[in-house]
């Protein structure tokens, strides 16, 4: 299947043998600019009827809010804004989850620095953005930890430099690392999961507030399917989705953290587990028949370029056992980038390590 790429970063995907055309543009952060860029690119490359795959949350929002205009050129599987708004803003996500009896971390929404003194927090807590995109691009972090009220005041003041006060959340910090992080991944349609699997994010980077997974394994966990389908059915969701949970070791609850309405970093684990998510979405958009499928447990995915430094730091800090870590590297089924069939992207990624470290904080 021919693939075209539009990106505002130095993407390794442009070096893939399967990418026919790639264009680097100044920015895709502004929704109007992103939509105009896609339409111009689509017309120039004669991409009428092609399927759009957003890979970042701000692109999901842009496609969702401009579906009518974009649909004149492309097939747009991203749901309308009436659905996406429940994913985009965590205040909406947690409010709906509570109504649906889906556990979430205890969360506060202080409207000012002074209001922090009026809330009885149980430390440690995390400061997070309700709408994460600008915060993450600026700070290169998903959240900050505060162990005392003084630290919380300092972090809140710092967050005000990047966010309106109303978008700052203070959240109970669930203990545990990536081994407590789980995710339900699916192609969802007509109120049901057409294809799905569940994973444990065994390791992530950074260690506590992982921006990305580095070692992932598929597992059997029917409860997350129940929670996730309840949520997705309520918002009439369609398309690919990853719902992130964390197991609270204090009471055994699996608490919903985030919902991503797009492809996710380790989605290629699905192909190894028998659930080829991008292809299923493509086939459905092309009105081809698709059948229900469930990913098998025990399939492992790794991104070595980030997992190796994560593992070494974990060993040095006492979070990981050296022998167990190196044993895990002998038993994985899918590497995120390296492929003998398509080796150039992996070679380019090694050369781009300095750029990635500055651009994304790796």
| Nearest partner of 273 among 186, 151, 360, judged by Cα | 186
Domain count, the chain: 3
335 and 196, same structural domain?
yes
What residue numbers bound the domain in which 149 lies?
106-172
- Please state, in angstroms and as integers, the Cα–Cα distance from residue 3 to each residue in 205, 257, 282, following that order: 29, 32, 12
Query: What distance lies between CA 91 and its chain's CA centroid?
Result: 17
CA dist., res. 123 & res. 127, Å (int): 12
Give mean pLDDT, residues 337-349.
Answer: 93
327 and 207, same structural domain?
yes
Q: How far apart are the first and last CA of the chain?
A: 30
- CB-CB contact of 332 with 308 (8 Å): no
Confidence of residue 30 (pLDDT cuts 50, 70, 90): very high
- CB-CB contact of 254 with 245 (8 Å): yes
239 and 283, same structural domain?
yes
Give mean pLDDT, residues 318-342.
Answer: 93
Confidence of residue 197 (pLDDT cuts 50, 70, 90): very high
237 and 136, same structural domain?
no
Q: Would you say residue 88 lies in a domain?
A: no
Query: What distance lies between CA 158 and its chain's CA centroid?
Result: 25
**Given its phi and psi angles, is residue 212 left (phi above 0), alpha (psi -120 to 50 degrees) or beta?**
beta
Other C-beta atoms within 10 Å of 326: how many? 12
Confidence of residue 353 (pLDDT cuts 50, 70, 90): confident
Confidence of residue 81 (pLDDT cuts 50, 70, 90): very high
DSSP state of 108: E
| Nearest partner of 241 among 202, 212, 270, judged by Cα | 270
Q: Would you say residue 57 lies in a domain?
A: yes
Burial of 110 from C-beta contacts in 10 A (0-12 / 13-18 / 19+): buried
CA dist., res. 362 & res. 358, Å (int): 7
Residue 214 pLDDT > 90: yes
13 and 161, same structural domain?
no
Instruction: Note the pTM of the prediction, 2 decimals.
Output: 0.94
253 and 122, same structural domain?
no
Give mean pLDDT, residues 185-191.
Answer: 97
66 and 12, same structural domain?
yes
CA dist., res. 52 & res. 63, Å (int): 9
Confidence of residue 359 (pLDDT cuts 50, 70, 90): low
CA dihedral 97, 260, 123, 170 (to 10 degrees): -80
Question: The domain that contains 189 carries what CATH number?
Answer: 3.30.470.20
Residue 192 pLDDT > 60: yes
Residue 34 pLDDT > 70: yes
- CB-CB contact of 278 with 53 (8 Å): yes
242 and 202, same structural domain?
yes
Confidence of residue 251 (pLDDT cuts 50, 70, 90): very high
Residue 177 pLDDT > 90: no
- CB-CB contact of 214 with 302 (8 Å): yes
Q: Would you say residue 43 lies in a domain?
A: yes
331 and 231, same structural domain?
yes
Residue 362 pLDDT > 60: no
| Nearest partner of 185 among 101, 265, 287, judged by Cα | 265
338 and 199, same structural domain?
yes
Confidence of residue 140 (pLDDT cuts 50, 70, 90): confident
Question: The domain that contains 167 carries what CATH number?
Answer: 3.30.1490
Confidence of residue 360 (pLDDT cuts 50, 70, 90): low
Three-state SS for 100?
coil
Give mean pLDDT, residues 97-105.
Answer: 98
Q: Would you say residue 97 lies in a domain?
A: no
The mean of the pLDDT values for the chain is 94
Q: Would you say residue 18 lies in a domain?
A: yes
Q: So what's the pLDDT on residue 301?
A: 98
Q: So what's the pLDDT on residue 141?
A: 86
Give mean pLDDT, residues 6-35.
Answer: 94
Give mean pLDDT, residues 145-160.
Answer: 95
CA dist., res. 38 & res. 19, Å (int): 16
Residue 99 pLDDT > 80: yes
161 and 33, same structural domain?
no
Q: So what's the pLDDT on residue 330?
A: 93
**Winning range, highest mean pLDDT, from 6-20, 115-129, 167-181, 227-241:** 227-241
Residue 212 pLDDT > 90: no
197 and 335, same structural domain?
yes
Confidence of residue 361 (pLDDT cuts 50, 70, 90): low
Q: Which of the pair, 50 or 320, is modelled with greater confidence?
A: 50
Choose the final residue of a domain: 172, 201, 226: 172
Residue 262, token pair as written in the block: 């797009």
């Amino acid at each position: 299947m021919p693939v075209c790429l539009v990106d505002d970063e130095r993407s390794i995907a442009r070096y893939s043998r399967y990418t026919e055309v790639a264009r680097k543009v100044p920015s895709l952060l502004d929704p109007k600019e992103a939509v105009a860029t896609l339409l111009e690119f689509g017309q120039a490359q004669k991409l009428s009827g092609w399927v759009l795959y957003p890979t970042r949350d701000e692109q999901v929002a842009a496609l969702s809010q401009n579906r009518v205009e974009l649909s004149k050129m492309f097939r747009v599987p991203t749901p309308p804004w009436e659905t996406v708004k429940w994913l985009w803003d965590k205040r909406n996500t947690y409010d709906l989850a509570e109504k649906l009896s889906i556990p979430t971390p205890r969360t506060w929404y202080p409207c000012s620095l002074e209001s922090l003194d009026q809330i009885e927090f149980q430390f440690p807590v995390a400061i997070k953005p309700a709408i994460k995109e600008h915060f993450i691009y600026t700070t290169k972090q998903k959240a900050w930890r505060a162990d005392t009220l003084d630290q919380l005041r300092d972090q809140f003041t710092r967050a005000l430099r990047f966010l309106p006060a109303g978008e700052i959340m203070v959240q109970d910090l669930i203990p545990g690392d990536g081994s407590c992080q789980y995710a339900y991944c699916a192609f969802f349609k007509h109120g049901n999961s057409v294809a799905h699997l569940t994973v444990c994010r065994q390791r992530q980077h950074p260690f506590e507030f992982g921006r990305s997974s580095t070692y992932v394994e598929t597992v059997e966990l029917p409860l997350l399917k129940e929670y996730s389908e309840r949520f997705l059915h309520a918002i009439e969701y369609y398309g690919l989705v990853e719902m992130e949970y964390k197991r609270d070791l204090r009471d055994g609850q699996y608490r919903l953290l985030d919902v991503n309405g797009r492809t996710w970093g380790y989605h290629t684990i699905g192909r190894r587990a028998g659930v080829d998510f991008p292809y299923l979405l493509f086939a459905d958009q092309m009105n081809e028949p698709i059948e229900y499928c469930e990913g098998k447990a025990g399939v492992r995915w790794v991104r070595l370029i980030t997992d190796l430094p994560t593992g070494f730091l974990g060993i040095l800090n006492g979070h990981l056992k050296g022998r167990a870590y190196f044993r895990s590297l002998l038993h994985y089924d899918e590497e995120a980038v390296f492929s003998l069939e398509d080796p150039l992207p992996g070679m380019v990624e090694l050369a781009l390590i300095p750029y990635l470290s500055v651009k994304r904080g790796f």
